[in-house]
Every structure is written in C-alpha cells, then in structure tokens.
Amino acid sequence: MSDGAFWGLSSIEELSLDRNRVGEVTKGWLYELRTLRSLGLSHNLVEYVAEDGWEFCESLEELDLGSNELQLLDDSTLRDLPALKTLRLNDNKVTLYKVQGFCVFLWVYNNEIWYGALGILSCFFHLGLRNEVYCT
C-alpha cells in the first residue's frame, strides 16, 4: 500500500482491505483516517505493524487482522488505539502476546499462545481461545 493511498477520504468510517496482499501496516498509508472506526485487513500477508502504524487511527474500534502472518504484537504496537474494542488475530503465527487490557473482545483462535501471557488477559469481556495453547 502506498503512502497517502486514502488522502482526501478523511471522513471514512469503515474500510475493508481484506484479501489485498497487504504485507505491512505503516502510518503513511493510513494518513488522515482519523474518523475510521472499523478496519478489515484479514486474509492478507501482514507480517509487520510499525510501532506508529496506527497513529492516525485513534477512533478505530474494530480491527480484523485475522489470517495474516503476524508473529508478535505488544503494547507499543497498539498504544495509538485508545478506542479499540474488538481485535481479531485468529489464524496468524503469533507466539506471544504482551498486551494489557486495551479492548473488550479478543479473538486469537489458531495461534501458538504462550501460556504465561494468558494471565494478563483477565480483563476481557470475551476472549476467544481455541487450539494451540502451550504451557512453558
């Protein structure tokens, strides 16, 4: 995705980029999407989310990153999403979550979840876990 791809669409609230071969999330191509509430990025090739990738998406409430190639997300990756309520990370390659209670609904089906990380997830209203939970 090229920088400024959505320039001039500052009032858009919902954007579906599912199945578009997106490989990374950077703030450049999300520039000016301050009213965006829902972003679908499922079934892409996302391996990397820049630490400031969500800088212009402070209104984002729902984020679908399911069925990508993600391996690690932590607090710094998601800190610019204060309104986030739903995060879908199902069917990735995530092996460790270092996220504190930043949203209400979290889907992490079909990942390799590190058991020690589950203790910090106690604040979720709905936590979808299925398959591949490992103890250390």
Domain ranges within the chain, ordered by starting residue: 14-134
The superfamily (CATH) of domain 14-134 is Ribonuclease Inhibitor (3.80.10.10)
Mean pLDDT of 41-47: 97
- Can you say whether residue 19 is alpha, beta or left, with left for phi > 0 and alpha for psi between -120 and 50 degrees? left
**Confidence bin at 134 (pLDDT 50/70/90):** very low
Residue 123 has a pLDDT of: 44
Q: What is the pTM of this model?
A: 0.79
Return the pLDDT at 34. Answer: 93
Q: Structure tokens of 81?
A: 């999403």
Going by C-alpha positions, the residue among 46, 42, 47 that lies closest to residue 19 is: 42
pLDDT value at position 37? Answer: 97
Lookup: tokens for 57:
């998406």
- The H or E element containing residue 133 is strand 133-134
Determine which helix (DSSP H) or strand (DSSP E) holds 78, and give its type and residue range.
Answer: helix 75-78
Sequence-distant (6+) residues with CB within 8 A of 73 are 49, 89, 94, 97, 98, 99
Q: For residue 77, what is the DSSP state? A: H
Rounded Cα–Cα distance for residues 136 and 134 (Å): 7
**Which pLDDT does position 73 carry in this prediction?**
73
